[in-house]
Amino acid sequence: MNQQEISNPLEGHRQRLRDRFQEKGIDALSDVEVIELLLTFGTPRCDCKQPARDALEKFKTLPEVLDAPAAALEKIKGMGPKNIFALQFIQGVARRYLRQRIQKKSYITSSKEVADYLIHALRGLRREVFMAVYLDASHAVIDSEILSEGTVNVNTVYPRELLKAALARNAAALVIAHNHPSGSREPSAQDEQLTRTLFLICSFMNINLLDHLIIGAGETVFSFADAGMMTAVRNDCAAIRTKLS
């Protein structure tokens, strides 16, 4: 133990956490220790161990702590505006990093990275949000954006706005996604109908809707394509177009 650790035990404890991270990576730290270090960015002179423990006990998981609204975090003793800023800032940085990481990459070979980004962006939201990922003719990611936000149970999606945004980016294909604030990843009847409607409308503009992803709780998504449902949607829409022609 060096003289600095003897004179400042708090700093010595934090330095040991930093050293462990630098030597062995993030997996060498517990979730409580990760939260503690993040909180110290906001209040470097305060002991953040107990607020970190209380936050994890209240919200159960690290993602839930990072996703927690400021009003809920403020109720934790020892958690102030600077601590909350630190948590929300690192969450924002992570979202930007994941979003930019997928751009120009092929969706076919990078679908997991796209799913990781969507999970991080949409999981834990209290309102239902609809997002689109725009792809070029080779299925490379052009851009992504949130197109609409609804209530906890209802989300209004305007097909015209989706097409307008896709055409503005010269998108040849799309992946759409939305979250279920309840945590469920199972598609509802409304989700299936929305997929059919958007697939049919996009097909008239020669835009291919590749998949519809649902984000709930956990680290995985529900994929209409992986479940074989996009094939059924494609067949249904082909029959409708045949009748209209």
* pTM for the full predicted model: 0.80
Strands 208-215 and 173-179: parallel
Higher pLDDT, 182 or 154: 182
Residue 152 binned pLDDT confidence (cut-offs 50, 70, 90): low
Tokens coding 17: 């956490």
At 237 the pLDDT is: 86
Residue 13 binned pLDDT confidence (cut-offs 50, 70, 90): confident
CATH number of 104-244: 3.40.140.10
* Mean pLDDT taken over the chain: 89
Sorted by where each begins, the domain ranges of the chain are 3-95, 104-244
Q: In this model, does residue 172 exceed pLDDT 80?
A: yes
Convert the pLDDT of each residue in 43-95 to its tens digit. 988 899 999 999 999 999 998 899 889 999 999 999 999 999 999 999 999 99
Residue 240 binned pLDDT confidence (cut-offs 50, 70, 90): confident
At 4 the pLDDT is: 46
State the average pLDDT over residues 118-141: 92
At 6 the pLDDT is: 43
Q: Are 137 and 150 in contact (CB under 8 A)?
A: no
At 154 the pLDDT is: 53
